[in-house]
């Protein structure tokens, strides 16, 4: 049987042989107030642990001290490997350690297996030991211990801010409008569009279901809500102007991908820009990789003889998943009767149907195929 060669961008295991006698292995359990650092030092029977304030130079000094202890024990350290879980601290520490010549990896938190037999005790020290075992198995090249996140550059991280800020502001605007509608419905007023210009002027003209004017405190609250909504709309216009400027200054490959995605019927410039920045800035080479990254793969439920799929895994990038599901509804290869929630006529029901597991015509894989095809500019640009 032919043995499959590992991919060069495979992050589920290490592709470098581990020599534990010359490798300093360090894991960091991060919190807001302190870092708990644990290591496996060659030549030392004990596995040292140290609490530090969130300070990168102090961490580097600790690594040098442990390297000197290994040298005193007769073991020369040729490789230093550091790992921590992805979280609120982001990737800045990994980039900084790489600049200092230290190998650093960022672990996907959901890829670490934990015991589900009972409620487990949880503390920083126990989590540190769990991270250490998972990272050590990853360094040995063993599968299913953990997987690493691709470390983006500072420019790549900054390029995502416009899309994410726009999503946050759009959600906040919807929440403000819903709160205003709820306040008016509480008073028996249902036929007012608070999103129209001049809604603040018409507040004095509104009458409740009882025929009275709006109460003064409710009117003041609605005016403040309208002011917040106007501020959010102004910020959204600033974001759109910044997006246009960024698009004009972007490389030609970026503009080609956005233009190709924008040709899909119903796909706007904002979604095209999101897919280009979030998907094609990574080394995702086929529809399976795109589907895994977006959380569009199945969530299997296996117990005994039962084998079924519960639906989407939802373990990937939610922004990409939402955009790709919307895109799947516009894929022309998917018949309307096979889309989720579609009304199927009697004539369509009498036609022979394919097996559900033969999913090459379903919306979910077609979305991944369409994204990869639309982002490819014909010269392999979608692969970079």
Q: Report the range of poorest mean pLDDT among 17-31, 122-136, 332-346.
A: 332-346
Would you say 66 and 27 are in contact if contact means Cβ atoms under 8 Å apart?
no
Q: Report the range of poorest mean pLDDT among 33-37, 126-130, 331-335.
A: 331-335
Helix axes 363-375, 269-278, angle to 10 degrees: 80
How do residues 137-178 score in pLDDT, each as one tens digit? 999 998 888 889 889 899 888 888 888 899 899 999 999 999
pLDDT exceeding 90 applies to what percent of the chain?
37
According to DSSP, the residues that pair with 312 across neighbouring strands are 298
Would you say 83 and 107 are in contact if contact means Cβ atoms under 8 Å apart?
yes
Would you say 375 and 382 are in contact if contact means Cβ atoms under 8 Å apart?
yes
Whether 293 shows a pLDDT value over 70: the answer reads yes
* Lookup result for tokens 């019927």: 265
Distance CA 45, CA 68 (A): 15
Q: Report the range of poorest mean pLDDT among 58-62, 226-230, 239-243.
A: 239-243
Residue 218, token pair as written in the block: 């409710």
Highest mean pLDDT, choosing among 162-166, 195-199, 220-224: 220-224
Whether 374 shows a pLDDT value over 80: the answer reads no
How do residues 315-362 score in pLDDT, each as one tens digit? 777 888 887 777 777 655 545 555 544 444 555 555 555 444 444 444
Average pLDDT, the chain: 80
Alpha helices in 114-194 (DSSP H): 124-139, 154-159, 161-186
pTM: 0.72
């Amino acid at each position: 049987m032919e043995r499959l060669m590992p991919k060069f961008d495979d992050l589920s295991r290490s592709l470098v042989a581990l020599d534990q006698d010359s490798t300093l292995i360090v894991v960091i359990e991060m919190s807001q107030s302190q870092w708990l650092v644990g290591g496996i030092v060659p030549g030392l029977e004990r596995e040292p642990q140290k609490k530090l304030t969130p300070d990168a130079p102090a961490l580097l000094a600790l690594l040098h001290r442990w390297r000197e202890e290994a040298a005193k024990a007769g073991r020369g350290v040729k490789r230093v490997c550091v790992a921590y879980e992805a979280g609120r601290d982001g990737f800045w520490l990994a980039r900084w350690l790489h600049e200092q010549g230290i190998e650093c990896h960022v672990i996907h938190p959901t890829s670490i297996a934990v015991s589900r037999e009972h409620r487990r005790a949880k503390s920083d020290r126990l989590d540190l030991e769990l991270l250490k075992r998972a990272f050590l198995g990853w360094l040995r090249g063993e599968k299913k211990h953990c997987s690493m996140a691709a470390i983006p550059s500072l420019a790549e991280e900054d390029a995502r801010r416009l899309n994410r800020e726009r999503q946050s502001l759009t959600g906040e605007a919807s929440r403000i409008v819903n709160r205003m509608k709820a306040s008016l419905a509480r008073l028996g007023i249902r036929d007012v569009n608070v999103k129209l210009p001049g809604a603040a002027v018409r507040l004095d003209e509104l009458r409740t279901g009882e025929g009275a004017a709006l109460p003064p405190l409710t009117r003041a609250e609605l005016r403040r809500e309208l002011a917040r909504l106007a501020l959010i709309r102004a910020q959204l216009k600033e974001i759109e102007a910044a997006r246009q400027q960024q698009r004009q200054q972007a490389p030609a490959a970026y503009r080609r991908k956005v233009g190709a995605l924008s040709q899909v019927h119903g796909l706007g410039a904002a979604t095209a820009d999101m897919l280009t920045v979030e998907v094609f800035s990574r080394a995702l080479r086929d529809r399976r990789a795109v589907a895994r990254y977006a959380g569009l793969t199945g969530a299997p439920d296996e117990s005994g003889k039962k084998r079924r799929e519960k639906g989407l895994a939802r373990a990937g990038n939610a922004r990409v998943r939402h955009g790709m599901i919307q895109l799947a509804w516009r894929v022309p290869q998917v018949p309307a009767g096979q889309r989720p929630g579609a009304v199927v006529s009697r004539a369509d029901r009498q036609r022979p149907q394919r097996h559900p597991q033969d999913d090459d015509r379903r919306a979910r894989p077609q979305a991944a195929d369409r994204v990869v095809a639309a982002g490819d500019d014909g010269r392999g640009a979608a692969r970079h």
